[in-house]
Amino acid sequence: MIRMVAVRLLLTLPILLGVSVVAFVLMRALPGDFAQASAGTSTISAEALDTIRRNLGLDLPVWRQYLRWLGATLSGDLGLSFTTRRPVATEIFPRLAVTAELTLIAGLMAGLMGVTTGLLSARLRGVAEWAVRGWNSLLLAVPNFVIATLIVLLFGLYFPSVGIFNYVAFARDPSGNIASLLLPALSLALTVSVTISENTRAAVLEVSSQDYVMVAKAKGLRPRAILRDYLVRNALTPVVTVTGLQLAALLGGSILIETIFTIPGMGQYLFDSIASRDYPAIQAIVLVAATIVLLMNVLVDIAYARVDARVSYE
Amino acid sequence: MMEGKLEPLLAVRDLSATFHRHGAPSRVVDGISFDIAPGESVGFVGESGCGKSVTARAILRLAPEGSSIELGGRILFRGQDLLRLDAAAMTDIRGRDIAMVFQDPMSSLNPVLSVGAQIDDMLIRHTGLSRRAARRRAIELLDLVGIHDPASRADDHPHQFSGGMRQRVLIAIAVSCQPALLIADEPTTALDVTVQAQILRLLLRLRRELGMALMLITHDFGVIAGMVERVHVMQAGAIVETGAVDALFAAPRHPYTRALLDAVPRLETGGLDSTAGPA
């Protein structure tokens, strides 16, 4: 087990290297650069632009820029943000914390909704099954930013007393902070809950036709014990996988949701950084997001072994 | 053995079972009646699809998930009609008074629970033992069915056992609450021939030691011999012949019984020469 984790962690390094190259090249392939972006619509002389570029090292060939960035990163220095001139590391972590909190709340909501609706549709059948499947199809068809927009419209027009855009920092007002994240988390959670719900439903249906469920009934176990120890325990494995991967994707930050609700998380940071061509910030965000996805994969594998004794990594 | 002298433990009267799938009803058990006396062992023989497994499951009112089955007639257990019991009372009887061993040991154990836990949960449910007492009893039961080093094996999971060992575990589960009737539905079909004999010997021994009645269901007359006192031969949802096992072997009356007996390979006739054999 420990060996497996060590090997998997080691394997993430070449993947991260590849990700950083792709991000680096793609950003520089975009038209415009920081100098032009910061100039905006005002006309600045070509010499002034060149000075900015020279100061930031943007006049060097891309491969030399990359090696410089890689060398600094490997020694633990993510560089200075072009826009704020402050270390990227100190800029990114408060934002990561906000997104992590948002993801946690959204994950709890999605897990609760998904597992409940999945179980309902698998166990009750009939009307419940059709209602859940219809609801899931609807949520799957509607992108989360549309849901977010509808939530904003609904509360903005009819319940203006409920503040939508008043994000407050956790340190200032913990309960207000959580309350301000509920609606954005809901708009993220609804889409994620579909995946969890459908996977729960499929897994429970598959497990319930297994012989050991019949044996459990023949043992005279009560329906609740069968549901808990036989159906859910066995259906959990595929659900753990999809949930883990969905949460990993959310941890990278949702640009649209965070922008709509003006939450200072990873998504909004990425959006602003791309708009201003703040290369060090973008590189750091991509690197952190990729690391999270990779770590989440390892965690999912560990979770497998915890819920299912047949899985061992020897 | 004791037929007619004792009140029957189980009296099945005019039992019918009808499956409803995609609207079209199909009757798989068609008005059968039989008795099982306390401690008696009775065999049910017939080819796949003759309704013998459905009969066995009907006694415990177990239907495959997602199918709907309609049962008719009466199933009197200790004089009480099981078909008229409410769901909770039926759940109490399952495992405690009537237990069942199924065909495929590879898929009959919950893969995520240790085998000990799968005996514990049943003991706790029916006997009210504490968790620790249940585990002590579970270890005794594993020892009883011939699992070596039962104390440490109780913590192992099903995938760490062979097919024969898993069937032993399932038998330990089935007899854990000392049921009055044990239904064994093709208990050896999925196993190697050498293991088959061991499992049959185990069932025979447990029946004697625990004084259970045994309802043994099989398609194989070779399994029945030496295991039961009486045999019911089933075909197409009906019992076509009933008799003491020796008499039936010596002089089968129904042509279907004869065909089934001919299907048992014999060493002296050169083995597998039958073409009319049931599946």
pLDDT digits (tens, 9 = 90+) for B166-215: 999 999 999 999 999 999 999 998 888 888 999 999 999 999 999 999 99
Under an 8 A CB cutoff, do B125 and A213 touch?
no
Under an 8 A CB cutoff, do A233 and B112 touch?
yes
Confidence of residue B108 (pLDDT cuts 50, 70, 90): very high
User: What pLDDT was estimated at residue B268?
Assistant: 58
pLDDT top residue among B134 and A255: B134
What's the mean pLDDT when you consider all of chain B? 88
Under an 8 A CB cutoff, do A214 and B65 touch?
yes
User: What pLDDT was estimated at residue A118?
Assistant: 93
DSSP B241: E
Helix, strand, coil percent values for chain A (each to nearest 5): 75, 0, 20
Confidence of residue B6 (pLDDT cuts 50, 70, 90): low
Residue count of chain B, please give it. Answer: 279
Mean pLDDT by 10 residues, chain A (314 residues): 85 92 89 79 79 84 90 88 90 91 93 93 85 92 90 86 77 84 91 92 91 94 92 87 83 84 90 90 92 87 77 68
In chain B, the residue whose alpha carbon lies closest to the alpha carbon of A308 is B112
Residues of B in contact with A307 (CB under 8 A): 112
DSSP B84: G
ipTM value for the complex: 0.88
Q: Tokens representing A11?
A: 């394997």
Residues of B in contact with A126 (CB under 8 A): none
Average of pLDDT values for B17-37? 88
Amino acid at residue number A291: T
Is A211 within 8 Å of chain B by CB?
yes
Under an 8 A CB cutoff, do B126 and A210 touch?
no
Is B131 within 8 Å of chain A by CB?
no
Average of pLDDT values for B11-38? 89
Look at residues A150, A140, A161 and name the one whose alpha carbon lies nearest to residue A184: A150
Is B234 within 8 Å of chain A by CB?
no
Domain boundaries, chain B: 10-265
CATH 3.40.50.1100 fits B10-265, yes or no: no
Q: B54, B62, B92, B121: best mutation site toward chain A, by most A Cβ within 10 Å?
A: B121
User: What pLDDT was estimated at residue B251?
Assistant: 85
pLDDT digits (tens, 9 = 90+) for B72-86: 999 999 999 999 999
Residues of B in contact with A308 (CB under 8 A): 111-112
Sheet architecture: strand order including B238-244:
B98-101, B181-185, B213-218, B41-45, B230-235, B238-244
User: What pLDDT was estimated at residue B187?
Assistant: 92
Of A213, A222, A234, the CB nearest to B65: A213
Distance CA A61, CA B222 (A): 84
pLDDT at B277 over 50: no
Distance CA B257, CA B247 (A): 12
pLDDT digits (tens, 9 = 90+) for B145-168: 999 999 999 999 999 999 999 999
Q: Does residue A53 contact residue A33 with C-beta atoms inside 8 Å?
A: yes
Look at residues B3, B19, B106 and name the one whose alpha carbon lies nearest to residue B67: B19
DSSP A87: B
Is A232 within 8 Å of chain B by CB?
no
Under an 8 A CB cutoff, do B121 and A221 touch?
yes
Under an 8 A CB cutoff, do B110 and A216 touch?
yes
DSSP labels, A136-190: HHHHHHS-HHHHHHHHHHHHHHH-TTS-SS----TTT-HHHHHHHHHHHHHHHHH
Average of pLDDT values for B124-141? 95
DSSP B94: B
Q: Does residue A208 contact residue A226 with C-beta atoms inside 8 Å?
A: no
Q: Which of B:45-104 have CB within 8 Å of A?
A: 60, 62, 64-66, 91-96, 99-100, 102, 104
Distance CA B139, CA B157 (A): 14
Confidence of residue B115 (pLDDT cuts 50, 70, 90): very high
Q: Please give the C-alpha separations between residue A192 and each of A178, A212, B128, B151, in angstroms, as whole numbers.
A: 20, 31, 42, 45
Q: Does residue B60 contact residue A214 with C-beta atoms inside 8 Å?
A: no
Is B190 within 8 Å of chain A by CB?
no
Ordered structural domains, chain A, with CATH? 2-74 (no CATH), 92-307 (1.10.3720.10)
Residues of B in contact with A209 (CB under 8 A): 64-66
pLDDT top residue among A15 and B246: A15
Q: Tokens representing B133?
A: 């007492």
Residues of A in contact with B155 (CB under 8 A): none
User: How far does the CA of residue A76 sit from the closest CA of chain B (Å)?
Assistant: 43
pLDDT at B216 over 60: yes
Residues of A in contact with B122 (CB under 8 A): 219-221
